[in-house]
Structure 1
Amino acid sequence: MATSKSPLHRRRPRLQSPMAHLRQEVLEAELAHSARLIHEAAKIDAVREIESELRRPIIKEHLQKILNHPYDNCPPLVLACRHNSAKVVAYLLTLISSGLDIEQTGSVSFSKEDIDGAAALWTAAACGHYDIAKCLIKAGADITHRTSSGSTPLRAACYDGHLNVVKVLRSHGSDVNMPNKYGHTPLMIACYKQREKIVSYLIRCGADVNLQSKLRGNTALHDAAEAGSIPIVEALLRAGAQWKSGSGDMSPMLSAAAVGQAKMVSYFRRHKQMSFTRAQEAEALELLGAAYVDKNRNVSAAIDCWIEAILLRGDSSVPPPPPSSPPPNPVYLNMQDIRCRDSLIASVAADPEMLEMLALVIRERVLGISHPDTAYYVRHRGAMYADRGDFQRCMQLWAYSLDIQIRGFESGHDNIFLTAGSCGEVLNHMLVHDSYARGTYVREIAEMTRVELDRCVDARLPEKAFRIGRIFLHLAGVWMQFIRDGRQAASPDDRRRLYDLGCAVVASCPANDAEETLLHLAVQPSTTKLLEYCECAYPFPCPDVVAFLLSCGAVVNAVDACRRTPLHAALRHSRRSAENGGADRVRRVIDVLVDAGAVTEARDVCGRTALAYAVDGGNEEVVAALRRRRRLRLQDISAAAVVDSGLDYYDELPLKLAQFVDLF
């Protein structure tokens, strides 16, 4: 499944003249400085400082660019709305005719969460800045403009309960049923956040109480039940809310049970007019018991729920849980569903740990592997074992959590990356602190990352594919460190399996947005950041990983968007590597790359060689190591001469030879 895109596919761009390049750099620096000043002034409503800055001649020449400059990922109008700088907003809106884009978007932060694609009106609505919102609407802001997740200004106002903003948006025609990209409507989020007044208002405005989301098929009734708000549930029922099941046959009662909303479960059970069977009622009690174990650690309440469910299932009209769904699972210590009260009591008395496993068994049976809570609580239980120092058991659960996420979630799901990255961190911790760590877990997680990589490639998600490929680099580092330390007897089969995995990953993994390959990452110290919570046993640049990637088919002279090869990348960051005690690793990386055929005289888009970056790094040992391995071949001199001549060599040379000339 190799990608057709070659890492040496581009024709070399013509370089700017030195003076033109310098003038452009000076201008960009001046505009960036001005953007920073305006950015800071917008935060504190300092409108005079902004007026003064925009009157400068050089800024007036580039007024449209500076008005919409996304300094720190946020243009000034959006930033002013975030910080309630009403005077700045009013002033900036007078500059629409001068090129201000009122729909310019940026990234804004709420409760440590970054919202991408937020326009000014969305930001004002989310913050509840009523006067600014009115001012923006009057100036022509689009009330339907959505963020990257498809959220409208109306939905933003509903989230934090800004009823006055909701009303002004509605008075100007906002659609009360317009969902985000997951199909979640303003009414649903108002129910989930327990905004009773907004729920009542939206219902009066004609909000459809029976719409279902795309993601899980839930309705507003599901969200209200999960939030535990009986008054909102009653309001929805009065408005004609129907008892619908979402994906996985998830009813509102099960939604409440899954998060431990015992009062809501009792409310639904008392109202027999609800459309659920006694078997579904028993499942709700079983799921509520699991929530008591994992969320509240209330063992007695959990046992009471499960006993009541057993009694319900004792009725001949209520079928028992499927005997083989799921089958005995070693990850759950082969725990199976309990079908009678005495067995439940005896099992818990014999081993309290089995109670925790029973909660996981029930959740997987009732919710299925596609529900995020199933994998989440498997991970949660694994973390509890890690806290006790039992990393073997933690890895067993986390590996299973990753497996069911890959089987149950769509490709590229963020939780898959979270779990895979966490597994890498724990494996590294085991490598450093646990002499009994086993490489079998590394192979198991690596094989699953390869599966996820293939899924991302098939789904045409190159950014996600590269992200999972980056995690694979760390797993390869752990495995080779196991072998290097002598803790693992690396059999020929072990080596073959890892090599086969590496070949598949190298062949499938696309470049990132900067057109860097995995080999570029393996030579950079920043790649170590995956392991931010534990001591790294194999910091990058990692010569072993570099050699492994090359043996698996990585292109040693692949170039990124700036036409830098992996050798460029290694030397460009050599100062930082040396500061972290990595000068020896950089020297070893140089040897590995040059032995594999790295062109030492290759020039990047700025015309710089790897040696120039090594000199900038200031480490004499690294510079000396590169000088020793430097090779100036006749073909290198010829290629450089072709480039310097300015010939359009793509029309004269075979493709492969032209790509080689590109390096110079």
Structure 2
Amino acid sequence: MMKSGCESTGEFDNLLLSTVRQGDVNLLEHHLSTVSNPALYLNRLYDERNSQKCTVLMIACLNDHRDVMRMLLQRYKPDLEVLNNITFGDFTPSRQIFFNISVLWAATSINNFDMVKLLVEHGANVNHRTRTGSTPLRGACYNGNVSMARYLIDNGANIHLNKENNDTNLMVSVCHKHRHMVTYLVDELNCDVNECDANGRSSLYDAVVCASIELVEFLLKRGAHNFRAIVDQMSPLMWAAEKKRPDLVDIISPYSSVLERIEAQELLGSAFACTNRDNDDLNQSFNCFSRALDLRTTHNLSKAMTTTTHTIFHNRYECQTIDQLENIRTNTELMHIEGLLVRERLLGPTNGEYRYSLCYRGAILADIGQYHEAVTYWIYELGLCQQYSISIDSKHLRRFASLFSRMLYKTKSIPTEAIIIVIKAICSELERDKQNFNDNLFTLLFLITITSQYLIECAISIAEKELLFHILRSIVQHHYTQIDSGMSLLHLSVDIRTRVNDYHIKHICKYPCLQTTRMLLKCGAIANAFDILQNTPLHVIASKFVHCGRAPDNICSFDQKIHTITRVSTAKILKLE
């Protein structure tokens, strides 16, 4: 027997872990026979790579060493309910870590039926729940293993234990298109096809989203209803239309009301009009709109008319008759607008799909050189986000900088009002969204650079210039700095490491940038502000010149204000060198 003083040594732990990873049953059994209390090691969590915490039994399970597991279970009877933290496959930063996992849950998730039976025979809890409420039965449903699911239920697994947010076993089976599992759950276990998760999404909703004709037909025949989800107010029929699936629309329509069928045709037509540049799709869009108008006429169901219009839609209203629709059939622009008007009515201004179609339309216009029209669409969508307190994607804000750069480079013209609106939006996001703070700060820097060149190169009124200077001064007064480095906008404007990855922004924004630096200083930026490493903006750029073998005195041309601290920063550089 190993002496007790050695039992907790790291050497023995490493020996044990190495042996179980190799799957050497005899050697592992030998090592365990040398200690007085094997359970001390078998029930301990070991730190594995990628932040995993696993027992010896879990390591054997994940490495598919069934003989090792059988030996451990039969001879040493380890605790099967120790909570592990694991990940599957090669680890990447985005790969999910699963917390509070039992070995049985892991065995079902990797779809190893032999291990599952072995663990259940030795008393594993078939209703174990992970941190998110997932069960071993869910693992069987995820993999579509009907035999495993039946075995677990025969041994006491509760089919009604759902994951967090009431995500059911039927839903996960539908999402992965496991027809045989869905049939088993519904026809043999009488699972409710209309049960919804916390967001109001049903199994039929999931079947449409994953585009399974077979499962949509099956669920409808088993009594699934076409109701709207809470999270997006979209029904399965609406999603079928939004995904441009006329086949699914035709399957669900007989189970829907007349108005639902009409609106499905309208939404289908709008999806064809607004999410593709192909003229064939515009023809399909016309046909869908025509069918909807025919149904409205037949059933005397007129459209709900809006009382206001918007200039981005050319102040148009939706077509109310076939004749009105025929008049715009060959006008691509008006057909796109018709589609957007339909989407605004059916989806609503807060719907993500509708707002995406506005951005998409703007992108198409930008690609054909209609930059001002493109800006108008994007500003309209940005206004909806602000009006309804919808979070704004930092990538979307960056696209404004890209579009403005393209406009400045190609046409020397940007709407001043648009620049101001976007800058204000970014400042609001800097206060609200700390997770994307640095990304938004770089976007703000790019916009300041664009504005600096805009003021020099473009003919604008004195009033517009004063307004832009006022906005820039208010930005500088906030003293924004990067979360991790503490670098200010002035630091970033003189730093050669300030990278620009967007093709169009690169045409305008290159750092160090003299114009941006002068603009920031003119608006009150603190020339001798320190970052987290106690570097001033001058030191940031001077250090780059020193490392390149150039005299730091050359940078005095950046501005007289920076020149006044040349000696201090140069002395600091020389000390570092």
For the Cα contact (< 8 Å) 1:161–1:195, is it kept in 2? yes
1:58-69, aligned counterparts within 5 Å? 68=47
Task: Please give the secondary structure, in 2, of the residue aligned with 1:194.
Answer: coil
In the TM superposition, residue 353 of structure 1 has moved relative to its aligned partner by: 1.8
Contact 1:449 1:472 in 2 (8 A): yes
Name which structure has the greater RCO, CA cutoff 8 Å, separation 6+. Answer: 1
Task: Please tell me whether the aligned partners of residues 196 and 202 of structure 2 are also in contact (alpha carbons under 8 angstroms).
Answer: yes
* TM-superposition CA deviations, 1:599-629 (whole Å, max 9, x none): 859xxxxxxx9637963xxxxxxxxxxxxxx
Residues 210 and 241, structure 1, Cα contact 8 Å, conserved in 2: yes
Structure number with larger C-alpha Rg: 2
In the aligned structure 1, how far is the partner of 2:164 from the partner of 2:312? 37
Distance 1:556 1:598 in 2: 15
Query: Is 1:399 aligned to residue 368 of structure 2?
Result: no
Q: Is 2:479 the partner of 1:495?
A: no
The secondary structure found in structure 1 opposite 2:95 is strand
Is 1:90–1:135's contact at 8 Å kept on the other side of the alignment? no
Counterpart residue type for residue 64 of structure 2:
A
Alignment of 1:357-396 (within 5 A): 357-396=337-376
Q: Deviation of residue 212 (structure 1)?
A: 3.3
Which residue pairs with 2:573 in the alignment?
611
After superposition, the Cα gap between the structure-2 partners of 1:396 and 1:76, relative to the gap in structure 1 and judged at 3 Å, is: farther
The answer on 1:516 being equivalent to 2:500 is: no
Q: Secondary structure of the equivalent of 1:302?
A: helix
Aligned mates of 2:304, 2:84 — CA distance in 1: 54
Residues 308-327 of structure 1 aligned to structure 2 (within 5 Å): 308-315=291-298, 317-324=300-307, 327=308
The correspondence for 1:244, drawn from 227, 230, 248, is 227
Matches within 5 A, 1:185-334: 185-203=168-186, 204-205=188-189, 207-215=191-199, 217-237=200-220, 240-247=223-230, 249-271=233-255, 274=256, 276=257, 278-295=258-275, 297=278, 298-315=281-298, 317-324=300-307, 327-334=308-315
Cα-to-partner distance string for 1:457-516 (whole Å, 9 max, x where unaligned): xxxxx324454344323222322232344566661122113333454583xx8x63x373
**Equivalent residue letter for 2:499:** T
1:551 is matched with 524
Shift of 1:370: 2.1
Rounded to whole Å, the distance in 2 between the matches of 1:552 and 1:409 is: 31
Could you state the TM-score of these two structures normalised by the residue count of structure 2? 0.71
User: Any conservation in 1 of the 2:174–2:203 contact (CA below 8 Å)?
Assistant: yes
Tell me if the contact between 2:66 and 2:115 (Cα under 8 Å) persists in the aligned partners: no
Q: CA deviation at 1:573?
A: 11
Corresponding letter in the other structure for 2:472: L
Please state how far the C-alpha of 1:335 moved relative to its aligned partner: 3.6
Q: Deviations over 1:319-353 (max 9, x none)?
A: 322233xx32222333421111111111123x222
Asked if structure 2 preserves the Cα contact closer than 8 Å seen for 1:406 and 1:452, the reply is no
In the superposition, relative to structure 1, how do residues 263 and 220 fare at CA in structure 2: closer, same or farther (>3 Å)?
A: same
SS of equivalent residue, structure 2 residue 261: helix
Q: Can you list the C-alpha shifts for 1:353-404, whole angstroms capped at 9, x where unaligned?
A: 2111211221121111222111112222222233334333333323333333
Deviation per residue, 1:243-289 (Å, 9 max, x gap): 43224643222122111221222223223xx4x3x333221110011
Q: Find the aligned partners of 1:576 and 1:135 in 2 and give their Cα distance.
A: 68
Give the superposition deviation at 1:142.
Answer: 10
Query: Where does the alignment leave 5 or more consecutive residues of structure 1 unmatched?
Result: 1-30, 56-63, 457-461, 602-608, 616-664
Q: C-alpha distance in 1, partners of 2:261/2:438?
A: 45
Q: How many residues align?
A: 525
- The separation in 1 between residues aligned to 2:45 and 2:519, in whole angstroms, is 46
Within 5 A, what are the aligned runs for 1:431-470?
431-456=408-433, 462-470=434-442
Matching residue of 1:473: 445
Give distance in 1, aligned partners of 2:185 and 2:443. 45
Structure 2 residue runs of 5 or longer lacking an equivalent are 1-9, 32-42, 73-77
C-alpha offsets along residues 638-659 of structure 1, whole Å, 9 cap, x if unaligned?
A: xxxxxxxxxxxxxxxxxxxxxx
Shift of 1:455: 4.3
Match of 1:567 in 2: 536
The 2-side partners of 1:301 and 1:333 are apart by 23
Could you say what secondary structure the match of 1:115 adopts?
Answer: coil
Using the alignment, how far apart are the partners of 2:402 and 2:55 within structure 1?
41
Tell me the equivalent position of 1:145. Answer: 130
Secondary structure (helix, strand or coil) at the match of 2:329 reads: helix
Distance 2:221 2:509 in 1: 61
Q: Go from structure 1 to structure 2 and tell me whether the alpha carbon gap of 1:175 and 1:316 turns closer, same or farther (over 3 Å shift).
A: closer
- Alpha-carbon contact 1:556-1:593 (below 8 Å) kept: no
Q: Is the 8 A contact 2:405 2:504 kept in 1?
A: no
Q: 1:573 to 1:491 in 2, by over 3 A?
A: closer
Does the alignment pair 1:535 with 2:496? no
Residue in 1 aligned with 2:40? none
Q: 2: CA distance between counterparts of 1:554 and 1:160?
A: 61
1:556-579 deviation digits (Å, cap 9, x = unpaired): 2353xxxx2353996499559988
C-alpha distance 88-301 of structure 1, shift in aligned 2 (>3 A): same
Counterparts in 2 of 1:558 and 1:302: CA distance versus 1, 3 Å: same
Please give the root-mean-square deviation of Cα atoms over the aligned residues, in Å. 5.4
Distance 1:154 1:142, change over 3 A: closer
- State the distance in 2 between where 1:213 and 1:546 align: 56
